[in-house]
Structure 1
């Protein structure tokens, strides 16, 4: 019998300070990003906001993000606040050769919404997108619908009407838990330069275009896909424990052999933790018992199949 997971309760609009905005502006903004990121940048047209990532020449992820287009010469990357300064510094080395400016805009506020999303959208003059990865925006704000089994929207704005948005730890935990249940792992500084994009299931979420031209790390990422060389995968799991395992915490066998590491975790209730972890696929296939601090790991289903999903396909689906 499959494990029954209680539903997440995101009852209030919640400030998401763990996210940050990295804006790319200028006449060459699209051309510049096209050579650096896994996304087909032209697909980000103000109505579709694809996932994307930035890699080292060896194909390891420096950051993953969601890519929004705010106007013809203005893109916004939504990513972990811990990575925004690092990615800005990295990309500036290449932006110097383009008419493109990088701005880590700390004035942008990110708001997560579920039950009250319609009212918030109305107050900002936005139409609430109905399909996953769909974007709506105006000069005041933008909103994107996130994937997953719970209807969620991410708003970004500098509007002062959001000053009263709650900063509630319980609601932030509920949001983090829904990210986990959606199979969305957001890289942080602690695990930069460790994973191929496929290890975070990024191609299964439409975060890699295999139809675009070259970008940094593209050859390694493509080879791993077409030769099936990915031996570690992001998996959803639970632990019966009152403590949260930290980012990078090891998951070990009964013989103390490391077979995985935690990427993110959140409490389901006072005695249960759900997490996303990059785990050796052989260990999962053989149903090998894994432990954290003596607590047995229970694997749970992901809401998507582990197979390639082209962003071009997602963009087309929004037009239907």
Structure 2
């Protein structure tokens, strides 16, 4: 990729956990093994309800003295309120970092400015900003807005949240927001395939349901790419040719060529599905 592109992101928020018990606290809440995520590392994780349904997905970033959770903006208030209910006597403080700004970078010069290695999920922690290398040759940066501006190449094209969502779709990185919160099990989002779900880490909310599905080997729906000539909406139901509900859209975005792309949790080997009913607009599901 050579074209420099800057994504101005307004759909993310930052929660920062401090205190001596922050890692142990998150280890008992998230699907990821937090004991294997060291300072200077990042990765995906999910937080589930007692039924094993994913409340939110996070980008988790570990630093020496804090752990950051990047979460969908429209879930931030509910997540912070609910997380604080579980703190009890643990030495953990959960801060809503309202001043944090977010920016995505893509393109040769833009990526070089972030000074990261080529490895996915590598992290650079500075006083004013944090840079994370994400799958798909792109970088997510957050921190002080003025400091982020200094990383912008002068010739960079400016893109927005929808374009960033399209990049997530292209790299099969599901992102849970309010439209689809508490609908899917982690395996349905393929979190067991990208490091966001660990079956050996011990208890967390919903762990028994998630583990039962894993050991019985009965994952009947998985995350797939989808494409359509008709606009798609997160949370929208998809139907088979016989009218049976066969899945739901997780994330969706215009592809820039007049069509639309999505990530959808659907029955395995679904093929062509339809929006709203068996006679609705077609959505072609790809492996």
Question: Which TM-score applies when normalising by structure 2?
Answer: 0.90
* Structure 1 partner of 2:62: 69
Matched, 1:51 2:37: no
* Structure 1 partner of 2:127: 139
Runs of 4+ in 1 over 6 A off after TM superposition: 164-169
1-side partners of 2:123 and 2:95: how far apart?
21
- Relative distance call for 1:159 and 1:270 in structure 2 (3 A) is closer
Question: Which TM-score applies when normalising by structure 1?
Answer: 0.81
3-state SS in 2 of match to 1:191 = coil
* Structure 2 partner of 1:98: 90
Using the TM superposition, give the Cα deviation of residue 85 of structure 1 relative to its aligned residue in structure 2, in angstroms. Answer: 1.2
Equivalent runs, 1:1-320 vs 2, <5 Å = 11-71=4-64, 73-115=65-107, 116-118=109-111, 120-121=113-114, 127-147=115-135, 150-162=136-148, 170-241=159-230, 244-281=231-268, 284=270, 287=271, 289-292=272-275, 294-301=280-287
2-side partners of 1:184 and 1:24: how far apart?
24
Conservation of the 8 A alpha-carbon contact between 1:46 and 1:135: no
Using the TM superposition, give the Cα deviation of residue 159 of structure 1 relative to its aligned residue in structure 2, in angstroms. Answer: 4.7
* Structure 2 partner of 1:304: none
Using the TM superposition, give the Cα deviation of residue 133 of structure 1 relative to its aligned residue in structure 2, in angstroms. Answer: 1.4
- Relative distance call for 1:261 and 1:168 in structure 2 (3 A) is farther
1:67-110, Cα deviation, whole Å (9 max, x unpaired): 10122x31001121111111111110111321101112111111
3-state SS in 1 of match to 2:212 = helix
Q: Give 1 or 2: higher strand fraction.
A: 2
2-side partners of 1:15 and 1:171: how far apart?
5
Unaligned 5+ runs, structure 1: 1-7, 122-126, 302-320
Conservation of the 8 A alpha-carbon contact between 1:37 and 1:55: yes
Conservation of the 8 A alpha-carbon contact between 1:183 and 1:236: yes
3-state SS in 1 of match to 2:5 = coil
* Structure 2 partner of 1:124: none
2-side partners of 1:114 and 1:46: how far apart?
25
Conservation of the 8 A alpha-carbon contact between 1:129 and 1:136: no
